[in-house]
Amino acid sequence: MSGLPTFLNPLTALLAAGMVVPPLLLLYFLKLRRREQQVASTLLWRKAIVDLQVNAPFQRLRRNLLLLLQLLLLLLLCLALARPVVHYTPSPGKNTVILIDHSASMSAVETFGAANTSRLEEAKRQARNLVDAMGKDDRAMVISCDDSAQIELPFTTDPQRLKTAINAIEPTDRASRLKTAYKLADAQTAFNPEQLRSGEMDLPNVYLFSDGRVLDAGELRLRGNLFFTPIGSSDLPNVAVVALSAKRNYERPAEVQAFARLANYGPDPVEADVELRVNGEVRGEATGELGCFLYPERWDQAQRDNYQKIPGHLPHKNSVTFPKIEIFSAAVISVRQIPRGPDALAADDIAYVVVPPPKSLSVLLVTDGDYFVEKAINSMSLKHPDILSPAAYEDDPKLGHPITYDVIIFDRYQPRWLPPVGNFMHFGSIPDGLPVVAVKEQGQNVMLSRPGVLDWERDHPILRGLMLNRLFINEAIKFQIPLPAAVQVLMQGYKGPLMVLCRQDRCTHLLVGFDVVNQSDWPMRLSFPVFMHNALEFLALGADMDVRLSYAPGSTPRIPRVNLQQAGVPDRIRQIKLDGPMGRKTLTVSEEGGDFVLPALDKVGVYSLDPPIPQFEKIAVSLLDANESNLMPQTLAPGGIGQTATGRGKAPWELWWWIIAAAGLPLLMIEWWIYTRRMHL
Amino acid sequence: MARLDQLDVMSRKILAGKMKGERRSKRRGQSVEFADYRNYVIGDDLRFIDWNIYGRLDKLFLKLFLEEEDLSLYILADVSKSCDYGDPSKAMYIKKVAAALGYIGLVNYNRVSIVAMAEGIVAETGAMRGRKRVAQMIDFVSQLQPTGASHFTESCRRFALAHRQKGVCVILSDFFIKEGFEDGLRYVAGGKYDLFAVQVLSPQEINPDLQGDLKLRDIEDNDMAEVSITQPLIKQYKSNLNAYCLALKDYLTRRGATYLFSSTAVPFDTLVMNYLRERGLLG
């Protein structure tokens, strides 16, 4: 037990004391009403009184002793009325598992008691208190958990080691999932050799110190007795960047457009300014009216409506767009929300994306001559649109290199071979080996006559904004799709699919089942060049041109062996240095084949590799997690498993009945005895 | 009564009575009962020379003979208000004892005087002799009522002045005298009287059973004493009572008087038949 008692009803006690103590004092100090008693003579009584006054100090004390005892009794009763409680940490039990959440939300800083500290520090403090309450032979282990779980210390009876393990837990920026942690706790206690030897089958007590913001609450299972200690308060202000995207203009690759969305997880509306930096240099600001005004995410529609009725209210604005940012080289774009007031969590105030160097698409058109397609390609700002005849295509050895062209367009030609990696458009032909095959009869493709466009994927990036219902198609290849799961139909005709998108291994194929030039009027329509632009843009996502979005904290990026080889790893260089918010790490790459997996990137920030690996020169890690940014702790145990402990895992122990039973009753008996027996000291 | 008939008042002192009574006076006079010898001096009556002693010792001794005289018995009964207290009442007890002593004295032809004292001498029988005065004596005693404060010194002075005849003097009182008992007893102790002082107290005075916060009112003078009864106070009171009684006893003893303490809880006949006989007042 620790700490001084606190009082649940102090005012009641003070009021009671004020009401009863003065009358008691008044009674004692008023002249006593004496009963008249006749005696034969007062001669000897007076002498006795005089003689007794020789011991005056003791008599005065005797006279006041009853007063003192009664005062003490009254004060004890008043103290009991005040309901003193002492919070103590009950013994955790013989086998205890201590789970400490060190996910991103646990880094929120708030006031606990008199100190400002992070939730993780408070959780560690309460865990240490729990260790202090352990009995002599009690065992405990420590597991830290975020989106994974790690045993910090296996079962031990040594409280000092437990505390050291608890203190060593560092915060991460990861999300929070408990499934693995619960499984780990179950596994450890089920296979604890001590339990098996002693024959004890008591379920362990699992103490979870967390804010309860987990993503897998519905999947949790635990055999032990769970005690959940919620950490944190629900009124913390926090504005977070919850989405960030950036996009190069393929027409003008040096221009990048960035879009950010914010969210307010605090209790009150806030204004937030947004700052965009490119490689650390401020390149854009959205402040004042251009900034954001964020209603709290916790508000329901009624609250929002009520707020909007307030005169002079600002409307909800939670996104910012930076339209034209000129970036001529590779860069790291960071978008930071600048809070105008306190902000509890710093990790979600900034997000990063990595922008590769601008690069024009390299496109190869394999055709025997197609005016419209050539014109469409030439009208785009492509690096160098190459045009080859089919024969030249088949003979060109350079085409075996997987990254020569970003997109290869086969116009009415079925190639005999394809690069192992690439993006391809096929007009009026279907290569072999794809999950889409042409229906053949007698070795010839079955054609659909005037299939007409029934419907198309209006939301797909390739066909977004296009009107194709009046498209005339004279005939189109009849598709057969043995594996529908691997194929996406983009355009459906009355008689069958007309345009499909499929992926196979590391290739993306856009199959247009008709000859756009000779069998349709599409090139005459405005939608054709737009389609060409969209298709090339979409297929170029697989190319080294698009913005690389950030990884979530805890991710382990996988670097393809091909990329390593491009950097000369591991042929010439056996080690890679990883720099970032977690410090510098030296990684050794195996000579054996296979992709290389980086260690978990736990902290938000930008990591760099040395030597630079293509497409992985910079790796951005951003939180962008609404669940972790929402700092409102859960009051109930995650998944409804277990019970919630109040305070710091402490139970209140009311003392009032102890006061009455242990102190008040004996005092009352002493006072009665003194009164009746006329005792003196 | 029959038992009292067998008793007589004794006196340790040789007191001269006015008349020849049934008491063997210690005065040596002319009677047939030999009392003592003395040396012969010229002029003594030769008839009382003891010739046997002369024959043996060759010296002349004169025989002395006891003379029977009457004994004056004075019974001083305290009838002050302080005696109207207790259960059994001290006043009633004192009257019973006074009546018993008076009866004994009368039936033995002693000269009995019963004096009631409170604020001085409030009543007195005068000298009485003989059995025929018993009814008068009892009547007198029964009519005595506790009254007034106790002026012991004045009462004793007046008594001593009024009664010069020597005799046995019995004082029946509680002796709770605020002015002090010494001055009063001086008049009657150590002189011509064979003094017997019987201190009578009630059980309530000996072992007071009082509780709480009290205002004690003196029954005689309405003096008030505020006390909070406690064990120490009771203890101190008893100690003081004991010391007071001892002081009274000591004062009387030094002056050749006899002190006797009695509680009204003791039957009066026990006091008369046993205690007073033991102390030599009765025989």
Give the C-alpha separation, B257 to B273, whole Å: 20
pLDDT at B176 (0 to 100): 92
Within 8 A of A33 by CB-CB distance, chain B residues are 213
pLDDT at A136 (0 to 100): 82
Within 8 A of B218 by CB-CB distance, chain A residues are 39-42
pLDDT at A542 over 60: no
Rounded to two decimals, what is the model's pTM? 0.50
Q: Which value, to the nearest 10 degrees, does the dihedral of the CA atoms of residues A132, A134, A137, A143 take?
A: -90
For chain A, the average pLDDT equals 83
pLDDT at A661 (0 to 100): 65
pLDDT at A187 (0 to 100): 82
pLDDT at A313 (0 to 100): 84
Among chain B residues, CA nearest to A63: B228
- Longest CA span, chain A: 151
pLDDT at A494 (0 to 100): 92
Domain spanning A251-358, CATH class:
mainly beta
Q: Which of A86-90, A133-137, A613-617 has the highest mean pLDDT?
A: A133-137
Burial per residue of A151-162, b for 16 or more beta-carbon CB atoms within 10 angstroms, e otherwise: bbbebeeebeeb
pLDDT band at A340 (very low <50, low <70, confident <90, very high): confident
Closest residue by Cα to residue B228 from B240, B236, B218, B219: B236
Contact B231 A679 (CB under 8 A): yes
Name all domains of chain B by residue range, CATH numbers in brackets: 23-69 (no CATH), 72-278 (3.40.50.410)
Spatial neighbors of B189 by CB under 8 A, at least 6 apart, are B195, B197, B251, B252, B255, B256, B257
To 5 degrees, how large is the angle CA B160–CA B166–CA B172?
60
Contact B231 A677 (CB under 8 A): yes
Contact, B217 vs A37, CB < 8 A?
yes
pLDDT at A231 over 80: yes
Q: Which two tokens stand for residue B261?
A: 């303490």
Amino acid B62 reads L
Spatial neighbors of B67 by CB under 8 A, at least 6 apart, are B20, B24, B25, B27, B28, B29, B30, B31
Compare CB distances from A36 to B215, B220, B241 and report the shortest one's residue: B215
> Is the C-alpha dihedral spanning A374, A376, A378, A384 positive or negative?
negative
B26-68 pLDDT, tens per residue? 555 555 556 567 788 777 778 888 888 889 889 888 877 654 4
CA distances from B163 to A479, B62, B75, B111, B175 (A): 166, 35, 12, 12, 21
Compare CB distances from B223 to A42, A44, A677 and report the shortest one's residue: A42
B233-260 pLDDT, tens per residue? 899 999 999 999 999 999 999 888 889 9
pLDDT at A571 (0 to 100): 67
Among chain A residues, CA nearest to B200: A40
Closest residue by Cα to residue A650 from A96, A87, A209: A87
Contact, A346 vs A238, CB < 8 A?
no
pLDDT band at B217 (very low <50, low <70, confident <90, very high): very high
Q: Which residue did the predictor score with more confidence, B101 or B274?
A: B101
pLDDT at A398 over 70: no
pLDDT at B18 (0 to 100): 47
Average pLDDT over residues A100-116: 91
Compare CB distances from B216 to A37, A59, A63 and report the shortest one's residue: A37
Contact A41 B213 (CB under 8 A): no
What residues pair up with A320 in beta bridges, in sequence order? A260
CATH number for region A363-542: 3.40.50.880
pLDDT at B15 over 50: no
Q: Where in chain A is the domain with CATH 3.40.50.880?
A: 363-542
**Terminal-to-terminal C-alpha distance of chain B:** 15
The lowest-confidence range among A265-279, A377-391, A450-464 is A377-391
Contact A45 B174 (CB under 8 A): no
pLDDT at B199 (0 to 100): 95
Phi, psi of B216 (to 5 degrees): -80, 125
Give the C-alpha separation, A316 to A323, whole Å: 21
Query: HSE on the CB side for A322, CA within 13 Å?
Result: 28
CATH number for region A95-233+638-649: 3.40.50.410
Give the C-alpha separation, A326 to A283, whole Å: 9
pLDDT at A116 over 50: yes
Instruction: Give the containing element (helix H, strand E) for A578.
Output: strand A575-580
pLDDT at B227 (0 to 100): 86
Give the C-alpha separation, A662 to A288, whole Å: 66
Average pLDDT over residues A178-193: 76
**Terminal-to-terminal C-alpha distance of chain A:** 37
DSSP code for A494: S
Q: Where in chain A is the domain with CATH 3.40.50.410?
A: 95-233+638-649
